[in-house]
Chains A and B, each alone.
Chain A
Amino acid sequence: MSIATLSVRRKLGVDLWWLPRAAILGLLAFIIFGPLLNLLLWTVAERWYFPHVLPLDYGFSVWTRVFSPRGNAMDSLQNSILVAVLTVIVSLALAIPAGYALARLKLPLRSLILLAFLIPQAFPNLPVYVNIARLFYQIGLNGTITGVVLVHAVHGLVYAVWIATAAFSAVDPELEQAARSIGAGPLRAFRDVTLPLAMPGLMASAIFVFLESLDEFTGSYFVGAPDVNMLPLLLYSAGAGGNYQIASITALLLLIPSIGFMLIVERFLKADVLSRVGH
């Protein structure tokens, strides 16, 4: 047998081996991207009903309706982003000192404290938020941006504190001591050494909190609605009303920060930070 025929057979073998792989990959891609494609189609569909596989008419008339002053979309987007930004600020303002203390000081109850931040997640959301709403109603926080931000911050603090703890744990305490030993006060050493080195992790936690806030529905619904409109509420009412065009366009608006998030996380989050989450 000559070398040429061998190599041909090997080539063929490789080609054949790729067939099932390609099929599985294609299927996987369809499972992941199929619904997204469906969503994209809905955003530009004017008329689309059963049994048609594709929309009958394409157009952007729904977009103009969504973005018209009466469409509430811009208002909701504004609210959503404002709440998300404020939630990030509140969460980080609490998570930076808390995470630093948990990482640096050998607190005896360290893991217990970390676990305590999970408690709001351990109970079913609905009763928790109903009670918060009742409480907020009494003190006049219901239907205010402040109220919604507080509810989101409770939720976001879990991520913020856990990731901040991991980020600060990843910074060698000797780096800070080196600054102290040549004349930096405690705050200065923290600002110049520990904080910049923990920044990638803190950025990641900020992004997590931002996205969680953007997506949050139950709390926004009970505390915010109907005075404070948020994108997920709009999505919900559109979806519940069978208006798939509006629901899809809203979903697409919510998708944009998610994709941006993935890109940023990929850049910022070092593996060694992630590996310390929960330590």
Chain B
Amino acid sequence: MTKENFLELAEISAGYGASRVLDGIELTIAKGEFVALLGASGCGKTTLLRAIAGFVSPSAGSIRVAGRDVTRLPPDKRGMALVFQSYALWPHMTVAQNIGYGLKLKRHPRAEIARRVGEMEKLLGLDGLGDRKPAQLSGGQRQRVALGRALAIDPEILLLDEPLSNLDARIRLTVRHEIRALQKRLGITAVHVTHDREEAMVMADRIVILDAGRIAQQGTPEAVYNRPASAFVAAFMGAENRVELWGQPSSGRFEIESGPANAVCTVPLDGRPLARGFVEARFRAEAAQLLAGTARDAAPAGTLELSGRVESVSYPGGLWRHAVRVGDDVVLVDAGMAFAAGDAVKIRIPSDVLFLFNAPAASSPAPIRSRPGGEKSRSLEASEA
């Protein structure tokens, strides 16, 4: 056992009845690391967390903590603490009793429990609330009590199940940083489940993106954001704009042929396993550049240029967001100045923010470029979600 594989999940599969929620999850977490399990609802992230905590028993695979197999141990013998989405504070106990319960179980002397509870209250800014019942607290305070209750027992591993999702948007931003700072200071290993990309990016050392019970990609926030391994990850990390292109690799470069809405372009391959055929190009609204359709200057080398027509404009703040029809697709592009609906525009996407994946449709003889109407109905705010 080294520090690098403190928590090891090997081939974890789990399911309710016939449906498989987790499928061969392999994950190694280092001591003191903050890992975010990110995914849409139903991707199995909460089931994975509950399997680690011991509330779901995996149908296959093993869970090891510091080299010790805990797969079949009950939750109370695993040395972990779970913070629930609902907080699950005990309404019949005071704040101090809630926080001190874990220590009471360990038969610590009363004076020591009181001291530790006082410490936790101070650490979490709950001073003077020790005698209150959970019902008398605000959402943010309850969240901190739940955190304090978990931290009071000095767990080896802290498990967080969407602990911020019930908080107001404004409080959530500060609590993110509070939890992160606390975790760093205490050096706890933490596994955090969330569906909020930004939350995962801000808090975690490493992001594990789950899709349909499998790990789609894992890596640092920066790596996952800038080098998505699949179209799913790219879309989940905000690159919601999607156009289909045709191209082929050639000596370390990928040549995109001109299409009805795009010019010829050659981008570095950068080791991506792209094959000849249709590719799905994905990019973020803020990564593209919007120019008037009359712009005469040529696009710089390695920059994809699409031509389209503005369908609508909105102002989400900072930049103007344009819905631009490119061929059969509608893409969202941010620009510092507003174009009017109906304007012909050019969209330029530099190669480093253009994510290319072989389209799953490439296997079929006649790739469907886009579902008719499907993209049209997408709201302007779609990429905000």
Q: Footprint of B on A, CB under 8 Å?
A: 172, 174-175, 177-186, 188-189, 192-193, 196-197
The residue that A177 contacts in the complex, of B75, B91, B106, with Cβ under 8 A, is: B75
**Residues B92 and A181 in contact, CB atoms below 8 Å apart:** no
Please determine whether A174 and B84 come into contact, CB atoms closer than 8 angstroms: yes
B80 at the interface (CB under 8 A from A): yes
A182-B102, A186-B74, A188-B105 known; 8 other A-B pairs, CB under 8 Å? A175-B88, A180-B74, A181-B55, A182-B76, A183-B106, A189-B76, A197-B90, A197-B92
Residue pairs across A and B with Cβ atoms less than 8 A apart, 19 shown, are: A174-B88, A177-B84, A178-B88, A178-B90, A178-B149, A180-B55, A180-B74, A180-B75, A181-B80, A181-B150, A181-B159, A182-B101, A183-B76, A183-B106, A184-B76, A185-B74, A185-B76, A196-B92, A197-B91
Q: Which of B53, B82, B106, B152 has the most CB of A within 10 A?
A: B82
What is the chain A residue whose CB lies nearest that of B85?
A: A174
Question: When the two chains form their complex, are residues A177 and B102 in contact, meaning their CB atoms are under 8 A apart?
Answer: no
The listed residue (B76, B82, B90) touching A175 by CB distance below 8 A is B90
| Inter-subunit contact A181/B82 (CB<8 Å) | yes
A7→B257 CA distance, assembly (Å): 89
The 3 closest A-B pairs by CB, nearest first: A182-B102, A178-B88, A181-B82
B210 within 8 A of A: no
Contact of B153 among A174, A175, A183, A197 (CB under 8 A): A183
Are the C-beta atoms of B105 and A183 separated by less than 8 Å?
A: yes
In the assembled complex, the Cα of A136 lies from the Cα of B345 at a distance in Å of: 95
B92 to chain A, nearest CB (A): 5
- On whether the beta carbons of B88 and A182 are closer than 8 Å, the reply is no
> For the complex, what is the distance from the CA of A240 to the CA of B152, rounded to whole Å?
69
Residue of B nearest to A196 (CB): B92
Which residues in A have their C-beta under 8 angstroms from that of B250? none
With A182-B101, A193-B90 known as contacts, the answer to whether A177 contacts B55 (CB < 8 A) is yes
Please pick, from A174, A180, A188, A192, the residue contacting B86 in the complex, using a CB distance under 8 A. A174
CB within 8 Å of A: which B73-130 residues: 74-76, 80-82, 84, 86, 88-92, 101-102, 105-106
**Which of A180, A184, A185 has the most chain B CB atoms closer than 10 A to its own CB?**
A180
Q: Output the nearest chain B residue to A185 by Cβ-Cβ distance.
A: B76
Cα-based distance from A220 to B82 in the complex (angstroms): 53
**CB-nearest residue of chain B relative to A189?**
B76
Of the candidates A174, A182, A196, the one whose C-beta lies within 8 Å of that of B105 is A182
Are A182's CB and B153's CB within 8 A? yes
Q: A175-B90, A177-B82 are in contact. Are A184 and B105 (CB under 8 A)?
A: yes
B136 to chain A, nearest CB (A): 17
How far apart sit A183 and B75, CA to CA, in the bound complex (Å)?
7
> Do the beta carbons of A172 and B86 come within 8 Å of each other?
yes
Kindly provide the distance from the CB of B24 to the nearest chain A CB, expressed in whole angstroms: 25
B77 to chain A minimum Cβ distance, whole angstroms, is 8
**Residue of A with least CB distance to B50:** A177
Give the residues in chain A near B159, CB-CB below 8 Å.
181
Q: How near does chain A come to B197, taking the closest CB pair, in angstroms?
A: 26
Inside 8 A of A188's CB, which chain B residues have their CB? 105
Q: Which residues of B contact A189 (CB under 8 A)?
A: 76
CB neighbours of B101 from chain A (8 A): 179, 182, 184, 192
The verdict on A181 contacting B105 (CB below 8 Å), with A175-B90, A193-B90, A197-B92 known, is no
How many whole Å from B22's CB to the nearest CB in chain A? 19
| Residues in A neighbouring B90, C-beta threshold 8 A | 175, 178-179, 193, 197
Q: What distance in Å separates the Cβ of B91 from its nearest Cβ neighbour in chain A?
A: 7
Residues of A within 8 A of B149 (CB): 178, 182
* Residues of chain B lying within 8 A (CB to CB) of residue A193: 90
Choose among A180, A182, A185, A186 the residue with the greatest number of B CB atoms under 10 Å from its CB: A182
Is there contact, CB below 8 Å, between B102 and A183?
Answer: yes
Contact between B84 and A178 (Cβ–Cβ < 8 Å)?
yes
Looking across the interface, which residue of chain B has its beta carbon closest to that of A179?
B101
Q: Which residues of B contact A186 (CB under 8 A)?
A: 74
Instruction: State in angstroms the CA–CA spacing of A121 and B201 once bound together.
Output: 62
Q: Shortest beta-carbon distance, B143 to chain A, in Å?
A: 13
Shortest Cβ gap from A29 to chain B (Å) = 39
Q: Inside 8 A of B89's CB, which chain A residues have their CB? A: 178
Give, as a whole number of angstroms, the nearest-CB distance from B346 to chain A: 54
By a CB distance below 8 angstroms, the chain B residues around A196 are: 92
B91/A178 in contact, CB under 8 A:
no
Q: Which residues of A contact B86 (CB under 8 A)?
A: 172, 174
- B106: which A residues are within 8 A, CB to CB? 183
Residues of B within 8 A of A181 (CB): 53-55, 75-76, 80-82, 150, 159
Smallest CB-CB separation from A197: which chain B residue? B92
Q: Which B residue sits closest to A192, measured CB to CB?
A: B101
- CB-based nearest A residue for B55: A177
- Given contacts A182-B101, A182-B102, A188-B105, whether A177 and B92 have CB atoms under 8 Å apart is no
The residues of A that contact B91 with a CB separation of less than 8 Å are 197
Residue of A nearest to B77 (CB): A183
Question: How far apart sit A181 and B88, CA to CA, in the bound complex (Å)?
Answer: 11
Distance (Å) between the CB of A241 and the closest chain B CB? Answer: 52
Kindly list chain A residues whose C-beta atoms are within 8 Å of the C-beta of B81. 181-182
Known: A177-B55, A177-B75, A197-B91. A182 touches B84 (CB 8 A): no
Q: Which residues of A contact B76 (CB under 8 A)?
A: 180-185, 189
